[in-house]
């Protein structure tokens, strides 16, 4: 009777304080060594009470022979708060004692803990234990295994377990659908699996539609997304009160760029949380409407790291790098720590502005303390920041500092591309060789980068060999950009006829980039006849682009064809076409200064002009004579 009373009191507990009072009554009544009431108390502390796991652990240590329920409760408690290592440690202790073998409830808890680790190995071992203890056919265990392999992207293993299961429930399908939804390469597989689910008569629930909507977001297919949205209403009825579903619907429309529909969905949400607001901010920012995104951001009552990152990333992607850095400073002042996604966006902004000191500070403060040191995407952003700020040696050192086994195509592609931009073609080709030695297969992006490197460094034969290896060794069909790199490579070396023949042999019509490359080469080598041909193609493809007119006019002027150059300039004037002025940023003492061509609005313009005049005078005294041969009419 006493047990029942105390258990009823424990069931009614709403706080840690009430549970401790029940615990005190258990001790006063001398039943603290009775397994059943203590197991229930451990369960409350581990799963219900905030910060109650430490108390559960104390109670656990006082039990001589914990039963499987108590072991499972402790493992589940640590898995629930993402303390995966602690959960695994208790599991291993359970095996070591040998008194209570794991059951079909143990393995789902342990596998969920493994799914939150960075390594697959512990999960592989647990899978072996599942087979050893004979639970490989248990539905709950199978669903946990599918989830584990899906999280790590091993969808072949997940699908094998799924197909081998004689009994499948809605959780089995949802777990598999969720795995496909987060894989960019296989989103259509989720839709096919959903069709199978319907054929077998498994009724979808809200989690099914959340996974399908996420799939549409990955596919960036609003048409299928609209169909899934309609099907959600058909199967589940009105969903306005379901925060999970409405958030998924909203997220799908924002990621597909349908902000008008997203705004309608957002307006119908009864209680739009931070996630919904963040989706709207991110959606407007991705569409380039940073003004509307900032308006919503400023209206948010609560902002988390996702909303801050959405706004910072939006500024960075829109080229508003100064605004991105200013907002990041505000975030830091509020004591909000950035995650790796935030840092990638801020580093991109630093690269766009050439803000080297700021980028260095981020690198040393957030990455070199090993907080994100193993994150390859972040490492790539650091390399690109240093490269775009002109510190190629530091960029290369950062690349060399990564573990060879952790290097990916993305990292190699970035490094090769950075080297190409700085004219370090030979080093880029060597890094390409390292990529092959590491056993990674170069992709289309790799070949664009390494061919560009060869072009910028005049490595003609190496470039031609790489182009052939792309075709013959790696069976990659050359795209427009690959031909463009090769045309540029040949053109820079003066092989204009060979470059023109290559353009004519392409399996598709050349775009403006390729003709512009040939025109630039004709200007460089003074071939006005071929340059005129390239220029005519270019003007047909981009009749309103001012830079193309300027390039053609300059080439004609360089070859003393003043009448033709005048005709091009008049064509520009008649069409009202202007080439936008160039601008640049410079960082000085932590401040960024922006300069436009021929602009004198800078607050220190007079001092800068005097300094430039002084430098010009020093050059004259040193005997420098400027080369005026390439100077043409100032039509910019």
Q: For 561-613, what is each residue's pLDDT tens digit?
A: 655 655 656 555 555 555 555 556 565 555 556 666 666 667 777 777 788 88
User: What is the pLDDT at residue 380?
Assistant: 92
What phi and psi, each to the nearest 5 degrees, are found at residue 585?
Answer: -115, 150
User: How confident is the model over 528-557, as pLDDT tens digits?
Assistant: 778 778 877 877 776 555 555 565 566 555
Residue 80 banded pLDDT, cuts 50, 70, 90: confident
Reply yes or no on whether the pLDDT at 459 is more than 90: yes
**To the nearest whole percent, how much of the chain has pLDDT over 90?**
43
Indicate whether 614 belongs to any domain.
yes
Three-state SS string across 22-51, please?
Answer: HHHHHHHCCCCCCHHHHHHHHHHHHHCCCC
Predicted pLDDT of residue 166: 87
Residue 228 belongs to a domain: no
**Does 426 score more than 60 pLDDT?**
yes
Q: Which residue has the higher pLDDT, 360 or 557?
A: 360
Q: Output DSSP code: residue 405.
A: G
| SS3 (DSSP) at 596 | strand
Q: Answer yes or no: is 519 within a domain.
A: no
State yes or no: pLDDT of 339 exceeds 60. Answer: yes
* Residue 474 in tokens: 């790696």
Q: Let me know if residue 4 belongs to a domain.
A: no
Stated as kind and residue range, the H or E segment containing 569 is helix 562-575
- 221-280 pLDDT, tens digit each: 889 999 999 998 888 877 777 888 888 999 999 999 899 999 998 888 877 788 889 999
Of 515, 562, 510, whose CA–CA distance to 536 is shortest? Answer: 515
User: Ranked by mean pLDDT, which of 21-35, 261-275, 620-634 comes out on top?
Assistant: 261-275
Summary mean pLDDT of the chain: 83
What is the tens place of the pLDDT at every residue in 45-65? 667 655 667 777 777 777 778
| Interstrand relation of 583-588 and 591-596 (parallel, antiparallel or unpaired) | antiparallel
Q: What is the share, in percent, of the chain residues with pLDDT greater than 70?
A: 79
**What pLDDT was estimated at residue 467?**
94
Q: Is residue 208 part of a domain?
A: no
Distance CA 312, CA 333 (A): 15
pLDDT in tens, 394-412: 999 999 888 887 888 999 9
Identify whether 591 is part of a domain. Answer: yes
Number of domains in the chain: 1
Task: Give the confidence band of 635 by pLDDT, cuts at 50, 70, 90.
Answer: very low
Is residue 602 a part of any domain in this protein? yes
pLDDT of residue 600: 66
Q: In the prediction, which pLDDT does 634 show? A: 47
- Classify residue 164: in a domain, yes or no: no
Contact between 219 and 187 (Cβ < 8 Å): yes
599: containing domain: 584-622
Average pLDDT over residues 474-499: 92
pLDDT tens by residue, 162-185: 999 888 999 999 999 998 887 766
């Amino acid at each position: 009777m006493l047990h029942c009373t105390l258990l009823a009191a424990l069931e009614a507990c709403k706080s840690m304080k009430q549970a401790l009072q029940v615990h005190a009554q258990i001790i006063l009544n001398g039943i603290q060594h009775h397994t059943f009431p203590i197991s229930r108390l451990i369960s409350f502390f581990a799963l219900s009470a905030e910060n109650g796991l430490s108390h559960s652990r104390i109670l656990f240590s006082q039990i001589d022979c914990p039963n499987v329920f108590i072991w499972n409760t402790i493992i589940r408690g640590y898995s629930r708060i993402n303390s995966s290592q602690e959960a695994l440690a208790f599991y291993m202790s359970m095996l070591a004692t040998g008194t209570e073998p794991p059951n079909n409830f143990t393995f789902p808890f342990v596998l969920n803990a493994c799914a939150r680790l960075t390594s697959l190995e512990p999960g592989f071992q647990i899978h072996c234990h599942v087979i050893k203890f004979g639970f490989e056919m248990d539905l709950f265990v199978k669903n946990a295994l599918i989830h584990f392999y899906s999280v790590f992207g091993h969808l072949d293993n997940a699908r094998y377990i799924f197909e081998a299961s004689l009994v499948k429930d809605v959780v089995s399908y949802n777990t598999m659908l969720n795995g496909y939804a987060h894989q960019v390469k296989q989103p259509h597989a989720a839709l096919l699996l959903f069709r199978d689910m319907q054929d077998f008569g498994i009724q979808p629930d809200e989690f099914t539609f959340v996974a399908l909507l996420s799939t549409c977001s990955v596919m960036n297919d609003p048409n299928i997304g609209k169909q899934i949205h309609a099907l959600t209403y058909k199967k589940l009825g009105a969903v306005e009160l379901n925060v999970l579903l409405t958030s998924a619907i909203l997220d799908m429309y924002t990621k597909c760029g349908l902000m008008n529909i997203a705004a309608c969905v957002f307006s119908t949400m009864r209680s739009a949380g931070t996630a919904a607001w963040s989706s709207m901010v991110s959606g407007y920012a991705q569409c380039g409407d940073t003004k509307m995104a900032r308006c919503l951001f400023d209206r948010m009552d609560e902002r988390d790291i996702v909303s801050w990152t959405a706004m910072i990333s939006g500024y960075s992607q829109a080229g508003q790098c100064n605004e991105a850095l200013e907002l990041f400073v505000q975030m830091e002042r509020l004591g909000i720590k950035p995650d790796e996604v935030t840092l990638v966006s801020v580093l991109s902004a630093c690269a766009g502005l050439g803000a080297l000191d700021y980028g260095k500070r981020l690198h040393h403060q957030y990455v070199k303390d090993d907080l994100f040191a193993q994150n390859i995407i972040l490492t790539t952003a650091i390399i690109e920041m240093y490269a775009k700020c002109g510190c190629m040696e530091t960029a290369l050192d950062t690349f060399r500092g990564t573990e060879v086994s952790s290097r990916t195509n993305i990292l190699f592609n970035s490094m090769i591309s950075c080297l190409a931009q700085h004219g370090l073609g030979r080093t880029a080709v060597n890094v390409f060789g390292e990529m092959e030695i590491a056993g990674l297969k170069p992709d289309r992006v790799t070949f664009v980068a390494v061919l560009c490197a060869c072009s910028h460094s005049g490595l003609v034969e190496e470039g031609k060999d790489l182009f052939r290896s792309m075709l013959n060794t790696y069976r990659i069909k050359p795209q427009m950009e690959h031909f463009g790199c090769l045309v540029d490579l040949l053109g820079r070396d003066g092989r204009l006829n060979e470059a023109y023949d290559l353009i004519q042999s392409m399996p598709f019509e050349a775009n403006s980039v390729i003709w512009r490359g040939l025109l630039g080469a004709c200007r460089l080598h003074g071939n006005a006849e071929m340059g005129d041909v390239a220029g005519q193609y270019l003007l047909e493809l981009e009749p309103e682009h001012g830079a193309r007119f300027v390039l053609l006019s300059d080439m004609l002027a360089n070859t003393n064809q003043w009448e033709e150059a005048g005709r091009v300039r008049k064509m520009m004037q008649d069409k009202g076409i202007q080439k936008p002025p160039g601008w640049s940023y410079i960082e000085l003492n932590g401040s960024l200064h922006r300069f436009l061509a021929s602009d004198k609005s800078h607050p220190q313009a007079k001092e800068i002009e005097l300094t430039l005049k002084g430098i010009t005078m020093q050059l004259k005294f040193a005997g420098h004579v400027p080369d005026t041969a390439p100077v043409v009419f100032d039509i910019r």
